[in-house]
Structure 1
């Protein structure tokens, strides 16, 4: 009886591994900006960035927007609130839900870190030309859409 040949896994050629490694290295570079200067974790910065860009949001909306799990979002929100960078208010439409927004101090951090984060991103992308950057963004969007569809379909 012949056994079907099993595909060999080579991590350096495995897309999830490569994406994860690349994301970690890029995030670490950008994290220097907000971690060293403001003592923010990656999760905290993501919430500040979303609130800075989108305005007031519920924790559920933040979970969907950041693709982070509920517990890290809750912890980051609580930490930011304790530091006076985010305010929380009961949602008018759902008393069980809290709406988060940046305080003036949180807004100042967002306005200082966002340009520095963009500079760090430009540094990372410096070896790519404009067409390559556009292609990279397009390919990442397509991969995200395909993975999201696969998640909705189940195993």
Structure 2
């Protein structure tokens, strides 16, 4: 590993430990030339994932988009950030476990809705109102009736 301070190619690992819930390895390194220390992270390279949108265009998968949708849906509700991140992690895990290169955005949306439905009914309705693009009050009320019937 090249030293970020002096550019020397020879560095040694002085400490290794798991990071990010055992999904990566954190390594403390020391440069043999300048003796400065720095940290690197080693992570498994994942399959590049492409999302197929409703209009059939394709774009690279972006976890931040799922996070934004979940966080907006849960805004001002008694839901912890940890719970929201756990939901996003579960959705992401389910997507990557399919081991496919392309995933429809509709699948991602349905997975988020399933998770929000279990987490908080108001957050679920907020997300559903945007995701399902309710055109009028009647379709919105139908979705609410589904929740109330459960």
TM bucket by the smaller chain? under 0.3
Give the helix-richer structure, 1 or 2: 1
Larger Rg: 2
TM-score by length of 1: 0.22
Q: Which protein has the bigger strand share? A: 2
Output the TM-score relative to the length of structure 2.
0.22
| Structure of higher RCO (CA pairs closer than 8 Å, 6+ residues apart) | 1
